[in-house]
Chain A
Amino acid sequence: MTDRASLIRIADLTADDVQRILATADRFASVMDRDIKKVPTLRGRTVVNLFLEPSTRTSTSFELAAKRLSADVVSIKGQGTSMEKGETLKDTILTLEAYEPDVFVIRHPQVGACAVAERYTDAAVVNAGDGTGEHPTQALLDVFTVQQEVGPLDGMHVAIVGDVLHSRVARSGIQAFRMMGARVSVVSPPTLVPRHLADALGVEVTADIRDIADADIVYVLRMQLERMGAGGFVPSLEEYARMYQVNHARLRPGQRVMHAGPVNRGVEISGGVVDDPDSLIEAQAANGLVVRMAVLYDVLTEAAGDTGTGAGGAVLEAA
């Protein structure tokens, strides 16, 4: 099936696709306000969540999103799977194919894992984070959060601060923010910026934290200690915090702060900023569910004929 609508990288989408998905997310937000928070849309569909790297908010929000849409959900976590016994991703996918899933939601420690998985299944594949590659649903919920809480991204300035090198959140986020018309700049120690970033993604890169002054949104990246290996990227976390921590002394009133979580309080961001009611961090976490519902809806549904109106019904008959 070549026309399936997998979501593996932000470049799979156009700005129109993003707006359509986020408009759907907005509708799901109103479903979440009522007593019965479930709709029958994906009844009979099977969603397999394959999470081969630790995750709390992404895995739970995908699981609940599928359940709220009435899909059947199988969730597989890294520990206790056959992959620990040496099974390859390919064999795992082929085994799970027996359940005839309609969508695989995959988190994997290696870049490109979702693209590999897509070769061995007819199901749609949704990337829930592939190593330091991409995290497209995070970028979508970030765009949704800004549009809901602040306003249209067109013409805004988003400053991304911190460890861009190891950050899939940054890689997807930079593309999504720019696609929606924002100017994106990166503030980071040179050791934590990928080479050619400025050319590849069209962002300004500086090493001076004072350059966030002009930004409407300050997006703080987590220091990914688990990906830094033997180290050498920064002299010490204390040194990093002194140079780059986003705290109230470095922000001006009106700047809105984002962070995809989990946060290292006192390292890349101060506790005071995390708890500031003006920060968007809580809204980001809350929006994960409806945006992931909208992504599953977008990947799995297709317009058949209209069910009952004169015009659409006739189209259905003709098909």
Chain B
Amino acid sequence: MGKVLIDSDQCRRTVARIAHEIVEHHPDTSAVALVGLHTRGVPLAERLRALIEEFSGEPPAIGSVDIALYRDDVGVGGGRRGVVPVVGETILDFDIASHAVVLVDDVLYTGRTIRAAIDAVFDYGRPPKVELAVLVDRGHRELPIRPDYVGRNLPTNRGERVAVHLAEIDGRDEVLLEGGS
């Protein structure tokens, strides 16, 4: 067990604050699409949608993206059977050209996942704008990517693990810091 950085009550308030900020930036929330990144970005996007609908009356569009096919670190020297990355489902069935896309993920780290997600979205269409919402920004970027909505900035060492647990997947909400020195 690691150290609890965010408990379930704080998690609820943090997600609500992000929802408020998205509404503040986008007066017309029907022109926004929340796109969750597999795995834990997907339930986070669902929660944000419900909150935004509650705050503004207009539900944003929703989608999900799996970046397995867009990664930059697979396939070096051939696979060992059984350890290949599983390809999840990408569902973007709103009109991309008319929605500001807000990518939603649990942890922002190197930025490579986000780069892959942007590439994936652009293979489906040309959104007028792409933004990024994350529950935790742990630093150590390797690409020029910055979030528009951040739940919590958590400076970490590279050797540490930030484990996000969400009720929909893990049974309860909490963010843990594990390992490291």
Q: How far is the CA of A298 from the CA of B86 in the complex (A)?
A: 10
A95 adjacent to chain B (CB < 8 Å): no
> When A308-B108, A309-B113, A310-B136 are in contact, do A102 and B78 touch as well, CB less than 8 Å?
yes
Q: B179 CB to closest chain A CB, in angstroms? A: 7
Mask, A25-41, CB within 8 Å of B = 1, is: 00110110011101111
Q: How many A-B residue pairs have CB under 8 A?
A: 149
How far is A305 from B74 in the complex, measured between Cα atoms in Å? 9
A296–B68 alpha-carbon span in the complex (Å): 14
Q: Confirm or deny: A265 has a beta carbon within 8 angstroms of a beta carbon on chain B.
A: no
Cβ–Cβ contact B105 & A314, under 8 A: no
Q: Does B51 contact A (CB under 8 A)?
A: no
A16-24, A83-91, A215-223 - interface stretch: A16-24
Q: Contact residue range for chain A?
A: 35 or more
Does B109 contact A300, Cβ atoms closer than 8 Å? no
Interface size class of B (residues with CB under 8 A): 35 or more
Contacts A310-B161, A314-B161 given; does A300 touch B79 at CB 8 Å? yes
Q: Which of B40, B66, B69, B78 contacts A40 (CB 8 A)?
A: B69
Q: How far is the CA of A318 from the CA of B157 in the complex (A)?
A: 12
Determine if B107 and A309 form an interchain contact, defined as CB atoms under 8 angstroms apart: yes
Which residues of B lie under 8 Å from residue A41 when comparing CB positions? 68-71, 74-75
Distance to closest chain B CB from A119 (angstroms):
16
Q: Is there contact, CB below 8 Å, between B112 and A308?
A: yes
Q: Select B119's contact among A1, A40, A298, beta carbons within 8 Å.
A: A40
Contacts of B108 in A (CB 8 A): 308
Tell me whether A309 and B106 are in contact (CB under 8 A).
yes
B89 CB-CB contact with A under 8 Å: yes
Inter-chain contact B81/A5, CB cutoff 8 Å: yes
Asked if B155 CB lies within 8 Å of chain A CBs, one says: no
1/0 contact trace for B62-87 toward A, CB 8 Å? 00001111111111111111111111
Offer 12 A-B interface pairs, CB within 8 angstroms, sorted by A. Answer: A1-B78, A5-B81, A20-B82, A302-B83, A304-B76, A307-B71, A307-B112, A307-B116, A309-B164, A310-B164, A311-B162, A317-B158
Interface residues, chain B, CB within 8 Å of chain A?
Answer: 40, 66-90, 105-114, 116, 119, 123-125, 136, 138, 140, 156, 158-164, 179
- Beyond known contacts A30-B89, A302-B78, A315-B161: 7 more, CB 8 A cutoff: A24-B84, A24-B86, A41-B71, A301-B75, A303-B84, A304-B73, A307-B71
